[in-house]
Amino acid sequence: MNLSVPQLQALVQAATLAPSSHNTQPWLFRLEGQAIELLADRTRALPVNDPDDRELTISCGCALLNLRVAAAAAGLQARVEPWPDAADTDLLARVRLAPGRADETDATLQTAMAERRTYRARFATTAVDPMALRSLVDAVHREAASLAVLDTADQRLGAAALVAEGDAMLWANPSWRRELAAWMHPRRRGDGLSLPALAIPAAQVVVRTFDMGHGVAAKDRQLADESPLLAVLFTASDMPSDWLAAGQALQRLLLLGVQRGLQASYLNQPVQVAALRPKLQQLTGLPGYAQLLLRIGTPTQVKPPAPRRPLADVLVTTS
């Protein structure tokens, strides 16, 4: 029994619910018979914030995990071939779909895809349940990445200081601020950022013009300090295949977290500043490459979903 185009499109729609840096949604999807191909849309790259497309590839990894979850929930087996064409580095993965042998664990994550939010507000003071934490660590391992919880006072203070240092360095760079402001443009539709802390459209001008590093650093340091759980998602090496794995690991962690009443947000500044990245990894006491610094906890408010591009904009038609 062949899958119809609307069935395949429904899987793509689920994939687009994934998080992405600056909400760039740097992905495209091509329907190829009974397979869906995931392509990097490098026109949506962030050359200042993410010069190697590392976060871009992580974002695409998140979309790939969503695709796998949606396929499992539809009773399909999803076989992922990463980089199936050596000559085309934009073709990140081909997902071959077939009825039967669906992954049962993945299928249970279906409803979490629409409930997940990047939760930038303060969390409840409740600690994360140790069983839930164990399942998050396992979820990340399952996707060939690792999660190191920063739980000693030294580790937490060290991470908070690196976040503040990262903020100061990023905000001092006018090119970085311009790039961020471009993704906060009030005329953007279906993508980009709207930070509730800064009222748009004023925010965009303010971000572009002023180094707000000190204020942001103080706020982020506090968020890191008081986060119920601070954790580094890291990989053994630092190749595009690690970034794609890190994205799938991140999204599996986020969806599993939602199932357990948790949401997360990012304090990636020490990963984005090259000089600070090894220092963050050192804090874990483990070898590897830090990919993301996450704060995780119990939300106290319901947040609206961030915008997404229409399906037609992310589907590539084969001529």
Ligand X SMILES: Cc1cc2nc3c(=O)[nH]c(=O)nc-3n(C[C@H](O)[C@H](O)[C@H](O)COP(=O)(O)O)c2cc1C
Q: Toward ligand X, which CB reaches closer, 76 or 165?
A: 165
Stretch that binds ligand X, among 76-84, 229-237, 260-268, 273-281 (CB under 6 A): 260-268
Strands 315-316 and 27-32: parallel
20 binds ligand X, rule: CB under 6 A? yes
39 binds ligand X per the rule CB under 6 A: no
CB atoms within 10 A of CB 267: 24
Q: Is 58 in the site for ligand X (CB under 6 A)?
A: yes
Q: Which stretch binds ligand X (CB under 6 A): 4-12, 21-29, 147-155, 276-284?
A: 21-29
Q: Please, what sign has the CA dihedral across residues 268, 274, 280, 284?
A: positive
- Helix (H) or strand (E) run with residue 30 in it: strand 27-32
Asked whether position 117 contacts ligand X by CB under 6 A, the answer is yes
User: Residue 50 and residue 108: Cα distance in Å, rounded?
Assistant: 33
Q: Which one, of 37, 4, 2, 38, lies nearest residue 20 by Cα?
A: 38
Tell how far CA 186 is from the center of its chain. Answer: 23
Closest approach, Cβ 268 to ligand X, in A, equals: 4
Query: What phi and psi values does residue 169 have, to the nearest 5 degrees?
Result: -70, -40
Q: Which of 13, 31, 40, 59 binds ligand X (CB under 6 A)?
A: 59
Looking at the Cβ atoms of 37 and 55, the one nearer to ligand X is 55
Assess 21 for contact with ligand X (CB under 6 A).
yes
> If DSSP codes are grouped into helix, strand and coil, which group holds residue 200?
coil
Shortest Cβ contact with ligand X: which residue? 19
Among 41, 53, 55, 165, interactor with ligand X by CB under 6 A: 55
28-37 burial: b if 16+ Cβ within 10 Å, else e = bbbbeeebbb
Dist CA 242 CA 59 (whole Å): 12
Out of 16, 265, 281, 284, name the contact with ligand X by CB under 6 A: 265
Task: Pick between residue 66 and residue 284 the one whose CB is nearest to ligand X.
Answer: 66
Decide: is 57 part of the binding site for ligand X (CB under 6 A).
Answer: no
Considering only the stretches 20-28, 37-45, 151-159, 206-214, report the one whose residues sit in contact with ligand X under the rule CB under 6 A: 20-28
**Contact between 171 and ligand X per CB under 6 A:** no
DSSP string of 256-310?
A: HHHHTT-EEEE--HHHHSTTTHHHHHHHHTS-SEEEEEEEEE--SS--PPPP---
Q: By C-beta, is 28 or 76 nearer to ligand X?
A: 28
Q: Give the binding site for ligand X (CB under 6 A).
A: 19-23, 55, 58-59, 62, 117-118, 120, 193, 265-266, 268, 306
